[in-house]
């Protein structure tokens, strides 16, 4: 191949609100069209040709990254009743082994699940749900075998080490926290959720071991397409909890876990604008809610009187503090909060008010991640602590003595000295005067002379905050002189709930102008310059990159957008696409002219124009249910048509995976190595 591939133009007129626009690449949605796959393969061939010279660098980066992970490793064991549960990895193997020991860590190991064996013959394998029965005799787990996030549910008898007859298709298994299944306390009854044709979790079933799944009773159908349905179990183990969730409201249903044949009872009916979540404790439920509280407040209500009029405030709303989550223990209550852009942990006695105090963290810029903390009657809180320079540490915090103990810290076998690196916070000024935080990491001694290659990362959607956490692979850039920066832009929740509200719906453009302001700040403060500045984002962060490119193509030297949500109008106008209807409360419904016009003002695919663009790498997943492969493919095709310079534009399609990319740890590192090689090649050439 001597030139890049050009997708054939096939005009497809689309009329909305009296406006007709022509989409020349709409046909790329036709997955079964041989021409679609031919084009994707041609793009991949072009990618290999244009980046082939970086293969030695990719190999070197991969070896560096692999040398920073302890290949034979064991997670910090988590005690549940008389068992210690953990995962471990073995050198050369892609996936973990899920294990446990009985009574003592010196006891013989029992392997519950070997994901490597499950993955044999498959290019992709992800464990979705993973839930052990209350008596520890059985394991319910689910598998996503192609990245589509459609999971098959299995049950394993752990005492006899054999699979039971159960095999339930099309179930929900959370891609992030292994939820999606709940056991009743009889150890025979499972609650699970299935997906509708648009892959929305919408139906809750009860299954008894040994029964034909086809006869499982439907307990609830969430008919409203703007709600997702989930199921879990309270940490007290007393209740099965099913909840319907949209971006503006929640509705919970509760069922005593000792009464599997009982009916679910609505905790409080949904009200648009009323968000709430539950945590059971004794005779009460704690309720985290935004009722008259933009940053949420804590209330409680008796188990037998859950209607709104019975809720009583225990921790009031605070204008400077976002209440993000909570965990109740027998004698303690933990509130997970965010203040001044940093996460906080508030501890108290079980009444939520006595002996209230905060965990003290050792660094000025840091973050933590919650752990499951499956046991209720304990005094120890587990969480994961990290910063841009501190590898992830598992912390056990004694809530009676207020003592901090490091149980395990990720090792860097090839060596790592945090003293060689600097992290700091800067503040950029957005066009409306808002001060936007930027977290920075760079090698000590780097000069601010405007010449440093710099990677600016962002997300800015769904209220999800980008945490200043350690990433061992990132060292391959920073050790080569890169400045790494995180733009904590509106649309996330770094500075509270209002930060999120100011970056969604009819305020969405703030997300993009904040990001551009952060880029301009890095240049003005001489961390970098335009030819040396790269931007990167994934999914909604890919939308961020796409919008920044169309608004300011002159500002950046390189852009990397993974599985980017760039075809905003077409996707949000098609309710058959997964997530669309639920996301009306994030972006707006284009059937409404006001939202249509606003979305048209920033939709990257619709705002591409003839201009010079930076070097661009776009990633896609063929089985992606969240951002369909055709969005990045169409974006590249249209950009090829319009760009006026000879900068490099390549599309990398993962033909065996979905939204999250490769499932194996080594395959994932190879994907990172490819992207980093692209950045280094483009910015340091």
How many angstroms separate the CA atoms of 649 and 682, rounded?
11
How many angstroms separate the CA atoms of 427 and 664, rounded?
37
How many angstroms separate the CA atoms of 368 and 465, rounded?
12
How many angstroms separate the CA atoms of 121 and 654, rounded?
17
Note the pTM of the prediction, 2 decimals.
0.96
Active site residues: 539, 624, 659
What pLDDT score was predicted for residue 59? 98
DSSP 112-176: EEEHHHHTTT-S--EEEEEEE-TTSSEEEEEEESSSS--EEEEEEETTTTEEEEEEEEEE---TT
Instruction: Give the β-pairing of 19-22 and 13-16.
Output: antiparallel
> Residues 434, 490: contact at Cβ < 8 Å?
yes
Neighbouring CB atoms inside 10 A of 617's CB total 24
What pLDDT score was predicted for residue 361? 97
Q: What is the mean pLDDT of each run of 10 residues along the chain (685 residues)?
A: 85 96 97 96 97 98 98 98 98 98 98 98 95 98 94 97 96 75 98 94 97 97 95 97 96 98 97 97 97 98 97 98 98 97 97 97 96 96 98 98 98 97 97 98 96 98 97 98 98 97 98 98 98 98 98 98 97 89 94 98 98 98 94 98 97 94 95 98 87
Taken in order of first residue, the domains within the chain and their CATH numbers are 22-66+554-567+603-685 (3.40.50.1820), 79-121 (no CATH), 127-274 (2.130.10.120), 275-413 (2.130.10.120), 423-528 (3.40.50.1820)
What pLDDT score was predicted for residue 578? 79
What pLDDT score was predicted for residue 685? 65
Tell which residue, 198, 491, 197, 215, has the closest CA to residue 206: 215
What pLDDT score was predicted for residue 577? 85
What pLDDT score was predicted for residue 576? 86
Neighbouring residues of 106: CB distance < 8 A, sequence distance ≥ 6: none
What pLDDT score was predicted for residue 316? 98
Beta strands in 5-121 (DSSP E): 13-16, 19-22, 73-74, 78-80, 83-89, 97-102, 110-114
What pLDDT score was predicted for residue 2? 59
How many angstroms separate the CA atoms of 64 and 478, rounded?
13
């Amino acid at each position: 191949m001597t030139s890049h591939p050009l997708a054939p133009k096939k005009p497809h007129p689309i009329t909305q609100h009296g406006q007709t626009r022509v989409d020349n690449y709409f046909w790329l949605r036709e997955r079964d069209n041989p021409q679609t796959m031919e084009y994707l393969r041609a793009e991949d061939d072009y990618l290999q040709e244009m980046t082939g010279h970086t293969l030695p660098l990719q190999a070197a980066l991969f070896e560096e990254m692999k040398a920073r992970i302890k290949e034979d490793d064991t997670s910090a064991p988590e005690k549940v009743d008389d068992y210690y549960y953990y995962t471990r990895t073995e050198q050369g193997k892609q996936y973990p082994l899920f294990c446990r020991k009985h009574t003592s860590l010196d006891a013989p190991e029992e392997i519950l699940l070997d994901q490597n064996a499950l993955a044999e013959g498959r290019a992709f394998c992800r464990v979705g749900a993973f839930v052990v029965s209350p008596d520890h005799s059985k394991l319910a787990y689910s598998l996503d075998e192609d990245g589509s996030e459609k999971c098959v549910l299995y049950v394993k008898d752990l005492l006899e080490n054999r699979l039971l007859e159960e095999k339930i298709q099309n179930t929900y298994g959370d891609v992030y926290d292994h939820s999606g299944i709940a056991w009743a306390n009889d150890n025979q009854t499972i609650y699970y959720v299935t997906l509708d044709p648009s892959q929305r979790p919408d139906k809750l079933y009860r299954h008894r071991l040994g029964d034909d799944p086809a006869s499982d009773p439907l307990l609830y159908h969430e008919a409203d397409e703007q709600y997702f349905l989930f199921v879990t179990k309270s940490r007290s183990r007393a209740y099965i909890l099913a909840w319907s969730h949209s971006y503006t409201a929640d509705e919970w249903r509760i069922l005593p876990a000792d009464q599997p044949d009982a009916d679910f009872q609505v905790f409080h009916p949904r009200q648009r604008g009323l968000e709430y979540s539950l945590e059971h404790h004794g005779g009460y439920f704690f309720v985290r809610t935004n009722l008259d509280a933009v940053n949420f407040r804590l209330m409680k209500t008796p188990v037998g009187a859950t209607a709104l009029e019975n809720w009583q405030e225990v921790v009031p709303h605070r204008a400077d503090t976002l209440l993000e989550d909570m965990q109740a223990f027998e004698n303690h209550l933990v509130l997970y909060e965010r203040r001044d852009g940093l996460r906080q942990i508030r501890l108290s006695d079980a009444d939520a008010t006595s002996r209230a105090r905060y965990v003290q963290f050792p660094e000025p810029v840091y973050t933590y991640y919650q752990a499951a903390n499956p046991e209720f009657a304990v005094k120890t809180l587990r969480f994961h602590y990290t910063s841009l320079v501190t590898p992830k540490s598992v912390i056990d915090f004694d809530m009676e003595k207020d003592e901090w103990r490091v149980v395990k810290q990720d090792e860097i076998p090839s060596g790592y000295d945090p003293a060689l690196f600097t992290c700091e916070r800067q503040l950029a000024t957005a066009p409306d005067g808002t001060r936007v935080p930027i977290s920075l990491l760079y090698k000590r001694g780097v000069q601010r002379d405007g010449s440093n290659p710099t990677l600016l990362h962002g997300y800015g959607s769904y209220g999800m905050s980008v945490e200043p956490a350690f990433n061992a692979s990132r060292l391959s850039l920073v050790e080569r002189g890169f400045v790494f920066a995180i733009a904590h832009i509106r649309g996330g929740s770094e500075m509270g709930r209002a930060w999120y509200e100011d970056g969604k719906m009819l305020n969405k453009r703030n997300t993009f102008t904040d990001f551009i302001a952060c880029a301009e700040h890095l240049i003005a403060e001489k961390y970098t310059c335009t030819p040396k500045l790269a931007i990167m984002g994934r999914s909604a962060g890919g939308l961020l990159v796409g919008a920044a490119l169309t608004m300011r193509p002159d500002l950046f030297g390189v852009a990397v957008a993974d599985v980017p949500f760039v075809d905003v109008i077409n996707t949000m106008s098609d309710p058959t696409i997964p997530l669309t209807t639920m996301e009306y409360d994030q972006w707006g419904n284009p059937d409404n002219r006001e939202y249509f016009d606003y979305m048209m003002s920033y939709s990257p695919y619709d705002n591409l124009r003839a201009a010079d663009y930076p070097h661009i790498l776009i990633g896609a997943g063929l089985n992606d249910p969240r951002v369909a492969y055709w969005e990045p493919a169409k974006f590249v095709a249209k950009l090829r048509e319009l760009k006026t310079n000879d900068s490099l534009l390549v599309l990398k399609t993962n033909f065996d995976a979905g939204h999250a990319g490769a499932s194996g740890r080594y395959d994932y590192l190879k994907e990172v190595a490819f992207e980093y090689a692209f950045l280094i090649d483009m910015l340091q050439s």
